[in-house]
Amino acid sequence: MSSKSPRRRAREFVIQGLYQWQVGGQDAAAIQVQAEGVAGFDKADRELYGILLDQTRQNAEVLQVDLTPYIDRAWDEVSPIERCILLLGACELRMHPETPYRVIINEAIELAKTFGGTDGHKFVNGVLDKLAGVLRPGEAKPK
């Protein structure tokens, strides 16, 4: 798939923004200015970008609590980029029932393959798959 969908691009920019927030301590305004200066941002779904970035940042503590039971190590031992991807995935699972859980997980896997470590996508998939069974019981049958 050579051309990325506007929604995929939006999620990529959200991950970059969450990373700047978590690692660099940047605020929403600084993150927005930076994103707007990056090539390709004009092709992203700007509305989705803004919503997901804000919701993930504002609800990070709750989302971390959602995720923690399914992570086999301390939160601080998860790589910063994988933390950002997990937070975004948890945010979408929790707050965006209009997006099918499989789409959310597949997008998270693709983000992990793009930005994360070698096997990061397997870790992200495992954690979000378990969380989907809890947050979306009617849609995702727990295994």
Q: What are the φ and ψ backbone dihedral angles of 93, each rounded to 5 degrees?
A: -60, -40
- Evaluate if residue 134 carries a pLDDT over 80: yes
Query: What pTM does this model have?
Result: 0.93
Distance between CA atoms of 86 and 60, rounded to whole angstroms?
10
Distance between CA atoms of 1 and 87, rounded to whole angstroms?
25
For residue 111, which of 140, 135, 141, 87 has the smallest C-alpha distance?
Answer: 87
pLDDT band, residue 28 (cuts 50/70/90): confident
Q: Which pLDDT tens digit goes with each residue over 41-99?
A: 999 999 999 999 999 999 999 999 999 999 999 999 999 999 999 999 999 999 999 99
Share of the chain above pLDDT 70, in %: 97
Considering only 15-24, 31-40, 60-69, 102-111, which range has the smallest mean pLDDT?
31-40
Q: Which sequence spans correspond to the domains of the chain?
A: 6-135
- State whether CATH 1.10.940.10 applies to domain 6-135: yes
Q: Is the dihedral of CA 130, 58, 110, 120 positive or negative?
A: negative
Share of the chain above pLDDT 90, in %: 83
76 DSSP 8-state letter: G
For residue 105, which of 86, 119, 120 has the smallest C-alpha distance?
Answer: 86
